[in-house]
Amino acid sequence: MKRNQLAQMGKLLAAALVGLISTSLQANAKPGRSKQLAYAEIMSCTGEGKLGTAFLAEQRSKEGIKTVKISLKVKGLTSGAHAVHIHETGTCDPCSAAGGHFDPGPNSNSKPDGNHPFHMGDLVNIKVGPSGRGHLKTQSTRITLSPGPLSIFDTDGSAFIIHDNKDTFCPEGSTPGCAGGSRAACGIIRPQKPGAKDTMRRQNKRKKTRAQKKRRKQQRWSETEET
């Protein structure tokens, strides 16, 4: 057999081997490596500005089930439990424009106090301490960030709503206010690029450092004037 034919066969074998290795790596890849990310800035419904931030991350389980992990931090709310839900429309101007609870499907019922707590966007309460700070960490298989019938990134988007009162989960059926009552805060959920959370943390850290330097400078001036 001629040399050039042997060389050609060698190239074909090498290409086939690379393909087999690539296929094997994809088949054995660990679930959850590739994430869909999102975030929301939580704003007061009464004009008091930003109250907190929420981060969402979607991962697949070994069984292929999509699970969305949620971390939500707030400050400036009254102490106690507050209802938290994902609402059906991505707008907060005003907070009532976020509509009812996210509940897609042919038999959906987004009415907050109806079909509750069986909406796709229903979550657990956030507990706020005496300082006005609260941190909710939870997860849901009722929603997805990736495209599909349960995606919160549908044509009109979605938003977090934090209510003034706690969610009782309506044990007696549809009764007014059982899902948390009036709305205290709202946050439009937006897609997030990988690494953006770290960037936001660095930016917030720089802002905090600048604010601390400013306070120290003002304190030194005050002490100088007093002397």
What are the tokens at 102? 């996210």
Domains of the chain (ranges; CATH) run 36-192 (2.60.40.200)
Taking the C-alpha atoms of residue 64 and residue 32, their distance in angstroms, rounded to an integer, is 9
pLDDT in tens, 168-220: 998 888 888 899 999 999 999 999 987 655 555 555 567 667 777 777 777 77
pLDDT in tens, 67-90: 999 999 999 999 999 999 999 999
Taking the C-alpha atoms of residue 85 and residue 158, their distance in angstroms, rounded to an integer, is 10
Q: The pTM is what?
A: 0.71
Taking the C-alpha atoms of residue 163 and residue 96, their distance in angstroms, rounded to an integer, is 11
**57: which residues sit within 8 A by CB, 6+ positions away?**
35, 36, 37, 38, 68, 69, 145
